[in-house]
Amino acid sequence: MDREGSRSAEHGRDDDDRRPAESNGEAQLGDLDNLIGFNLRLAQHASFRAFARRVGLSDLKPGRFAAMMVIHSNPGITQSQLGRAIARDKSSVTPLVRELDKDGLVKRLPSTTDRRSVALSLTREGERMLRQLLAHAIEHDRDLDAVVGPQKRELIVLLKKIVDALA
């Protein structure tokens, strides 16, 4: 048996289970269906779409709420610190902060400790927007609680274990 066939058998399928996508209208995921990373991405994407629908902001981008919450909780935080806190690299944090600044939600001031850095804080409008987003996030989390049920604590422990092991 070739490597591809043995991998499928290992996941409880044999190659005869493969069907053309058009036979049932859906693309087959193959081994992706049993990969933790792929399913984490699908769950995160579904959760974000549901959150954006709840908020009613079609232009809401992933990371915006998290960035605002971290800035609120850490006034004067640098972009580098923010990036580490929300697990984003400089190439994605810089445009995010620039957009928040352009929208009047964040102010960037020169750092008092490092001339190369800027200190971030929320504006009044940013604080107002964060309060709205947080109210929606709490409701959204209740929806997720209903899906996950009593295994929530276990799920969070497992997710944190993944982060710790791979960080």
pLDDT of residue 106: 97
Read off the pLDDT band of 14 (50, 70, 90).
Answer: low
**Which one is predicted more confidently, 60 or 28?**
28
Q: How many residues are there in the chain? A: 167
Query: What is the SS3 assignment for 60?
Result: coil
Residue 13: predicted pLDDT: 52
Q: Is the pLDDT of residue 11 over 90?
A: no
Inform me whether the pLDDT recorded for 8 exceeds 50.
no
CB atoms within 10 A of CB 52: 19
- Rounded to whole angstroms, how far apart are CA atoms 139 and 158? 23
- Determine the pLDDT at residue 71: 98
A 10 A CB-CB count for 155 gives 13
Judge if pTM exceeds 0.95.
no
Are the C-beta atoms of 144 and 47 separated by less than 8 Å? yes
Structure tokens at 130: 């964060």
Cα–Cα distance for residue pair 124/138, rounded to 1 Å: 21
Q: What band does 3 get if pLDDT is binned at 50, 70 and 90? A: very low
- In the chain, where are the structural domains located? 1-34, 35-166
DSSP class of residue 86 equals: T
CATH code of the domain occupying 35-166: 1.10.10.10
Each residue's pLDDT tens digit, 40-66 = 999 999 999 999 899 988 777 778 999
Question: What is the DSSP code (8-state) at residue 58?
Answer: T
Q: Which residue has the tokens 């964040």?
A: 106
pLDDT score of 144: 95
- Asked if 100 and 68 count as a contact pair (C-beta separation under 8 A), the reply is yes
Tens-place pLDDT, residues 71-130: 999 999 999 999 999 999 989 999 999 999 999 999 999 888 888 889 999 999 999 999
